[in-house]
Amino acid sequence: MTYTLIAVCCLIFVLGPASGFNPSYGTGDALAAAQRAYFRSWGVVPADLFDGPAREVLTPATALFVHGSWVHLLGNMLFLFVFGAMTEERMGRVEFTVFYLGCGYLALLGYAAANATSPQSLVGASGAISAVLGAFLYLFPSARVTSLLPFLFFLPLRFPAWVVLPFWAALQWLALDQAPAGPGVAYLAHLVGFGLGFGYAWVRYGRTTRVRSAPAPAPEGENQP
């Protein structure tokens, strides 16, 4: 399912207006207008979610498969590729799929609840992927993760997951305080997803089922518009 989710996200992006590959959306101002309408239709708009038509309750699910740019898509899919397969193998295909979709939905819902009057569209799988990171941390705390750190000139260094992933979560927390109002990275959705994923793994699998796993490479950081 990890690879299926990646394929679906990539296909939807290529067919949508943000990729620039579909000529039916036009160019210039017409393309920009099509992108805004597309994100508003399929993304989460907090103001509409809590005070709009009933169909808006589905948007936290549809938004998980929509991405705003190539950087956004590739950054999210890289994290899902690296951390998703091992987590899915531990959980099983069906449970992992329900876990991914459920935590992703709740992460976007949590962001929307905290910004209930916002008219801005929110799209992307990062809330669900953050949940995968949280579960991975609990299930494979000793897995070696390759990280690229900007302040060390992007030298690839290997650290255990219990160092890398809490550090990533701390960066999201710090960035949340600095985030400007308006469009940007939904750091709160990352934190909600990460907490849900870790909590689910803790409750579901218990302390005796954690696995000391083989190395899993991954870059540090995440890109999202």
Active-site residues, by number, are 126, 190
Quick one: which of 93, 103, 216 has its CA closest to 165? 216
Q: Which of 174, 88, 178 is nearest to 136 (CA)?
A: 88
Q: Within a 10 A sphere around the Cβ of 196, how many other Cβ atoms? A: 23
Q: Please enumerate in sequence order all residues whose Cβ is within 8 A of that of 11, keeping only pairs 6 or more positions apart, or say none.
A: none
Evaluated on CA atoms 99, 101, 107, 113, the torsion sign reads negative
Rounded Cα–Cα distance for residues 19 and 130 (Å)? 24
Q: What is the spatial distance between Cα 212 and Cα 200, in angstroms, rounded to a whole number?
A: 19
From residue 201, how far is each of 8, 195, 213 by CA, in Å? 25, 10, 16
